[in-house]
Amino acid sequence: MNQQILLCGVGGQGILFATKILSEVAVRKGQGVIGSETHGMSQRGGSVTSHLKIGSFRGPLIRRGGADYLFCFEKGEIFGNLAYLKDGGVAFIDAPNLDYIPEKIKSILAEKNIVLHSFDASATAMQMGAPLVLNLILIGFAGRFRDFPLETEALRQVVGEVSPERFRGLNLQAFDFGLGNKSVSAAQ
* pLDDT per position as a tens digit, 19-36: 999 999 999 999 999 999
- Per-residue confidence (pLDDT) for residue 184, from 0 to 100: 52
Mean pLDDT of 140-162: 96
- Angle between the 15-28 and 152-162 helix axes, to the nearest 10 degrees? 120
Instruction: Report the candidate in 181, 168, 92 with the shortest Cα–Cα distance to residue 130.
Output: 168
- Per-residue confidence (pLDDT) for residue 162, from 0 to 100: 96
Residue 92 has pLDDT above 50, yes or no: yes
Q: Give the 3-state secondary structure of residue 88.
A: strand
Q: For residue 44, how many other CB atoms are within 10 A of its CB?
A: 9
Q: For residue 40, how many other CB atoms are within 10 A of its CB?
A: 12
Q: For residues 86 and 66, is the Cβ–Cβ distance under 8 A?
A: yes
d(CA 127, CA 180) in angstroms, rounded, equals 15
- Per-residue confidence (pLDDT) for residue 41, from 0 to 100: 55
| Phi then psi dihedrals of residue 21, to 5 deg | -65, -50
- Per-residue confidence (pLDDT) for residue 185, from 0 to 100: 47
Q: Where are the beta strands (DSSP E) in 133-187?
A: none
d(CA 86, CA 88) in angstroms, rounded, equals 6
Mean pLDDT of 80-107: 96
* Length of the chain counted residue by residue: 188
Confidence at 81, pLDDT banded by 50, 70, 90? very high
In the chain, where the domains are located = 3-179
Mean pLDDT of 123-144: 95
- Per-residue confidence (pLDDT) for residue 173, from 0 to 100: 96
CA dihedral angle for residue 82, residue 17, residue 94, residue 35, rounded to 10 degrees: 10
Instruction: Report the candidate in 1, 62, 58 with the shortest Cα–Cα distance to residue 27.
Output: 1
Give 44-65 pLDDT, tens digit per residue: 667 889 999 999 999 999 999 9
Burial class (CB in 10 A: 0-12, 13-18, 19+), 132: middle
* Stretch (H or E) spanning 35: strand 33-39
Q: Name the fold adopted by 3-179.
A: Pyruvate-ferredoxin Oxidoreductase; domain 3 (3.40.920)
